[in-house]
Copies of this chain bind each other. A is one copy, B any other.
Amino acid sequence: MTAQTDQNNAKARHTLISVDAMGGDEGPAAVVAGCSLSAKLNSDIGFVLHGDAAALTALVAKRPELSGRCEIRGTSGVVTMDDKPSQVVRTGKDTSMWSAIESVRSGEAAVAVSCGNTGALMAISMIRLRKLPGVNRPAIAVLYPSSNPHGFNVMLDVGADVRADADDLMRFALMGISYARNGMDLSRPRVGLLNVGTEEHKGRSELKEAYDLIREREAEAGFEFVGFVEGGDISGNVADVIVTDGFTGNVAIKTGEGTANLVSLRLREAFNHSILSKLAALLAYPSLMRLRKKIDPRRVNGGVFLGLNGTVVKSHGSADATGVSAAIKLAAQLSENQFNDKLAARVAATLPTEE
C-alpha cells in the first residue's frame, strides 16, 4: 500500500468517502473527475481512492481542487464486470473494490462508492461488513423519478437478490422507510407493496402475507401503508416507498430506463424531421435542456445497499463524472445524517433479531 503525504488532511475533512476508483466502464479518469466535481461542490468531503497508485496519483495531481483531500490506496487487482461474485469473494482480496469496502469496515471511511460489478460488490459487502441484526436479506434501494412532490420515490429491492419472502418484504419496507426519512426528509413516508393489481385478493401468496405483516407494523413504525400498488405507481404519487423483490424491481427499473431512452430517441427524431422542426428545436433548446435535467438518470445515480453494518453506494457502471459526483453526493448525505446508525436502530427496535 502507498499513502500520500496529504493523508492527514484528507482525514481532517468532516466526511470521508471510500471510492473504488477502478470499477466502472469509463475507468479511473471518470471516477477521479467525479470526485473533483464533488470536491468543488462540497468542501466537507475527503476521499480515500483505491486502485492503481501511479495512475491515480497522476490523475489527482491534475486536479488542484483535490489537493490535500485525497488519500490513495494502491491495489493491484480489478474486479471486472464479467467476474463471478463467488470467485471474487475467494480471490479478490487485492482488488480496489475489496479495499474500498475494507475502509468502511475499519471505520476509517463512512461510506463506500463503486461503479463496479454489482453482484461482486454485494458479495464482498456481505462478507466483510456483515448483515445488521434483524436483517435476513440486504436490499438495494434506488431513487426513481416520480410525480410526487420530492420528484422521486424510493424503490427496493432492485437486485440484491432475486428472491424475497413475506418476511424479507416487510423488512425491506422498514429499511425503505428509514431511507425515505433520512434521504428525502419525509417524516411519515407512504409505503406501497408492488403487485399486479390493487385488490387485496390479487397476486402471489407471499405478497398477501407480506401485506398483513407490513400492515401490522404501520402504527408503531410511523408510516402510512397504502397497500398494493402497480407498475405505473413507481413513477406516480401514491407512495414514497415501493417494496418488491429484487427480480421484479430490477426488471422494472431497467424497463423504465429503457422506455425513457426510447422516448428521448423518438423526440430527437421528431425534431430532426424537417428544416422547420430543426428550427423549432433550436428555439425549444432551453426547454428541452430543462426536461433533460429533470429526467437525467445521472442526477440520481446510486443504488444504496441497505441492511449491512456500513453504507455502500453502487453507482451505474457507465457513470461519467456527473454520475460519479451524484453517487458521492448521495454517499455524503447519508453519512452526514448518520443514516446507517438510524436504520440499524429502527430495524433493531422494530424486529426481533432472532426468529
A260 within 8 Å of B (CB atoms): yes
User: Of A289-297, A308-316, A324-332, which binds chain B?
Assistant: A289-297
User: Of A60-68, A91-99, A250-258, which binds chain B?
Assistant: A250-258
Q: Within the complex, what minimum Cβ distance (angstroms) separates A203 from chain B?
A: 6
A219 within 8 Å of B (CB atoms): no
A287 within 8 Å of B (CB atoms): yes
A180 within 8 Å of B (CB atoms): no
A255 and B255: CB pair below 8 A? yes
Question: Using Cβ atoms and an 8 Å threshold, which residues of chain B touch A84?
Answer: 201
B257 and A284: CB pair below 8 A? no
How does the 8 Å CB contact mask read for A288-308 relative to B, with 1 for contact and 0 for none? 101100110000000000000
Q: Within the complex, what minimum Cβ distance (angstroms) separates A234 from chain B?
A: 5
Question: Using Cβ atoms and an 8 Å threshold, which residues of chain B touch A271?
Answer: 284, 287
Using known A-B contacts A248-B251, A254-B232, A255-B256, determine if residue A295 contacts B281 with beta carbons closer than 8 Å. no
9 residue pairs A–B, Cβ–Cβ below 8 Å:
A82-B199, A145-B259, A203-B247, A231-B250, A231-B256, A234-B255, A234-B258, A253-B255, A263-B291
One complex includes copies of this chain to the number of 2
Task: Given contact pairs A204-B247, A232-B255, enumerate 16 new A-B contacts (beta carbons under 8 Å).
Answer: A147-B265, A162-B196, A162-B204, A232-B254, A244-B251, A248-B248, A251-B251, A259-B260, A263-B291, A267-B291, A270-B294, A273-B287, A276-B286, A277-B284, A280-B283, A280-B286
Within 8 A of B (CB), among A225-267: 230-236, 244, 246-248, 250-267
